[in-house]
Amino acid sequence: MTKTMNLYMSLSAENSIELLHAFMKLKPFNQKPPTQIYLDMYAELEGVPDWIERWVPTCTHGVTAFWGNFFEGGYVEGSLCFDRYYRDNTQVVKVIIDDYPCSVEAVLEMLSPLPWRLATFSNNINTDWLAPEINYRPPNFRDRHYAHGWGCAFKGAGHNHLVSRRWLEYGPWRLIRDEANDISLVQFHDLFVDAVTALEQAQPGHERMGVSDTGGFINSKFEYSTDIRGLYNSDNHQLTIVNTDRPVTQREMLDLCAARYQQILGPEQPIDSVSYVFLLGEQGYDYLHELWLREIECWAILKGVEVRLDTDYHPTPEIPDWVRRLQATEEART
């Protein structure tokens, strides 16, 4: 018997209404009209086939369509939710499908043709994370996404929220690529382990892929903690930080990546690249790996000569033991 899970997803897209319509073509949503509608946090309405056209464009807070008797405490096959933050129009689509195959590959196959950019898969496999004896509150992408659970994913332009695509290859997680659709699915833990083991596997990845000082994700409302200053070269649009003898934190690197992504200097000073120059040359090696992961150039003054260190740097990814076990199992099947 195939193991199933309650699949909880939050997805952001260029066009949320288009994404809702795409989900309406999939099971269980294409089998019949929704049973019930919840509008703007207070109105309970009967389900209708044209619920997206009727209520989504003009809602204030959001619309949720249920397939099943949610308000009567009955069985719910699934739900589609358009969640809007009324202050700044931040939008996310939240999807719940009950009894979905417990398979990363099945989820990827479903999502591949759909028009989304960022996705988070919540922790409803391991609800024990919320128990008092564990009390774990995962980080997330913010922007009204679910908290991180067993995975997250990027499609096309969604990858631009990362400090670099290199980040995907060198994290404490399992990476599954769909090259044809430019999708990167990050799995944080084995889906078939207990809650405590899953948390041990997932927590390092949550930190590196969440909104954190050591993370590699740039959310849309990024809050800077560093005063972005450096030498700007108008010829190659590079921002250079000259380091005399000062510790460089990963948070500072993240801020610089955000400045590059958000073009914080404005249209008059576009940032195509960022670099560090370490006057005490050997210090460059201390930061080389983390700078390389973020595609920040690393230069050092060695014997009076300015040398670029990151060009010939080719680290080997450290694959977690649980990922190696999953890979070995898959290889044995094939």
Residues 298, 276: contact at Cβ < 8 Å? Answer: yes
Query: Which residue type does 80 have?
Result: L
Average pLDDT over the chain reads: 93
pLDDT digits (tens, 9 = 90+) for 240-284: 999 999 999 999 999 999 999 999 999 999 999 999 999 999 999
Strand arrangement of the beta sheet that strand 231-233 belongs to: 231-233, 238-243, 273-278, 297-302, 305-308
Q: Does residue 82 surpass a pLDDT of 60?
A: yes
Q: Does residue 124 surpass a pLDDT of 70?
A: no
User: pTM higher than 0.75 for the full model?
Assistant: yes
Distance (Å, whole) CA 119 – CA 108: 11
Specify the pLDDT at position 135: 85
pLDDT band at residue 76 using 50, 70 and 90 as cut-offs = confident
pLDDT band at residue 291 using 50, 70 and 90 as cut-offs = very high
Lookup: tokens for 179: 């090259």
